[in-house]
């Protein structure tokens, strides 16, 4: 028996870094949103080992893969000598700040909970998810949420208003480790307030959300290509544009889908990885 799950990407509508713990984890203030760009994760039960297969040959399929770690953590939590074969069809770009690995891990937890009949409540799955990575609990819940602490203290928000979102991954790569090292050098004074984004979500006002978009990493990494993409989006009618995660994907919010598609057509002349998506209110779902 096997189960195929759609695992949504995430975007950061707001991201500030406010401190660093003694164990090396950074303290963040974020607003996160799941969007309709999905990896496809197929999970089947086996009698013993865990095996990963992935359509992206650059992604390791060994014990370092978050999907592998998710399966291992699940079986350790529920007991029993079981294994799984996990096939991942990648659509979410890697090294983009869109939680591609974390959402695959969340999908594995969700699928194994169904396949084994363990029927763990979502809160228990989230406890397991937290041991895998800071973004995995959010990816399990999906929707629209604030995130504090190291990113695992989650509070749900109302659904984001309907809109079209253009996502572009420029031909640059940003090392997450290097981005955080640079943030350490610059210090941790709070530099922005998430209230405009949160208020815009509560009021269903996309323009307020767009005006409040913020990502501290933009100030830290200072890559001209990111600013160029944002400028193109704003000139094409976006109500706001921002980097997500530590990058390198950039997104723009559009009230009108046809304007979003026109913007995407323009960006596709220069970039290979361009997507038009929308906010979604769930985490992993059965295909």
Strand-strand pairing, 83-89 and 50-54: parallel
Q: Which one of 104, 135, 216, 230 is the catalytic residue?
A: 135
In whole angstroms, how far apart are CA 157 and each of 67, 81, 144, 267? 27, 39, 5, 31
Listing DSSP states for the chain in one string gives -EEEEEEEEEEEEEEEEEEE-TTSPEEEEEEEEEEEEEEEEEEEEESS-EEEEES-TTS--STTSHHHHHHHHHHHHH-SS-EEEEEEE--SPSSSSS-HHHHHHHHHHHHHHHHS-----HHHHHHHHHTT-TTHHHHHH-SEEEEETTTTEEEE-PPPPS-EEEEEE-S----HHHHHHHHHHH-------THHHHHHHHHT-HHHHHHH-EEHHHHHH--HHHHHHHHHHHHTT-SEEEE-TTSS-EEEEES-HHHHHHHHHHHHTT-SEEEEE-B-S-SSEE-
Reply yes or no on whether 124 is catalytic: no
Distance CA 255, CA 251 (A): 13
Reply yes or no on whether 135 is catalytic: yes
Catalytic residues: 10, 135
């Amino acid at each position: 028996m096997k189960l195929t799950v759609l695992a949504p990407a995430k975007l950061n509508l707001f991201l500030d870094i406010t401190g660093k713990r003694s164990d090396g984890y950074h303290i963040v203030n974020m607003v996160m949103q799941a969007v309709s760009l999905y990896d496809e994760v197929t999970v089947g039960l086996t009698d013993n080992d865990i095996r990963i297969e992935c359509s992206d040959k650059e992604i390791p399929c060994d014990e370092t893969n978050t999907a592998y770690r998710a399966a291992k953590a699940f079986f350790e939590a529920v007991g029993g000598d079981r294994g799984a074969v996990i096939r991942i069809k990648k659509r979410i770009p890697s090294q983009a700040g869109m939680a591609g690995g974390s959402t695959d891990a969340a999908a594995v937890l969700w699928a194994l909970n169904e396949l084994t009949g363990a029927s763990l409540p979502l809160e228990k799955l989230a406890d397991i998810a937290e041991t895998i990575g800071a973004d995995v609990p959010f990816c399990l819940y999906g929707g629209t949420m604030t995130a504090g602490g190291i990113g695992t203290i989650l509070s749900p928000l109302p659904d984001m208003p309907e809109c079209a979102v253009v996502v572009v991954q420029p031909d640059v790569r940003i090392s997450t480790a290097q981005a955080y090292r640079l943030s350490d050098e610059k210090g941790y004074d709070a530099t922005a307030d998430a209230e405009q984004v949160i208020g815009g979500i509560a009021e269903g006002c996309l323009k307020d959300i767009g005006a409040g978009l913020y990502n501290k990493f933009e100030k830290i990494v200072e890559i001209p290509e990111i600013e160029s993409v944002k400028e193109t989006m704003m000139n094409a009618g976006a109500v706001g544009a921002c980097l997500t995660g530590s990058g390198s994907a950039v997104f723009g919010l559009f009230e009108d889908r046809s304007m979003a598609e026109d913007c995407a057509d323009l960006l596709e002349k220069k970039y290979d990885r361009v997507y038009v998506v929308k906010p979604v209110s769930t985490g992993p779902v059965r295909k």
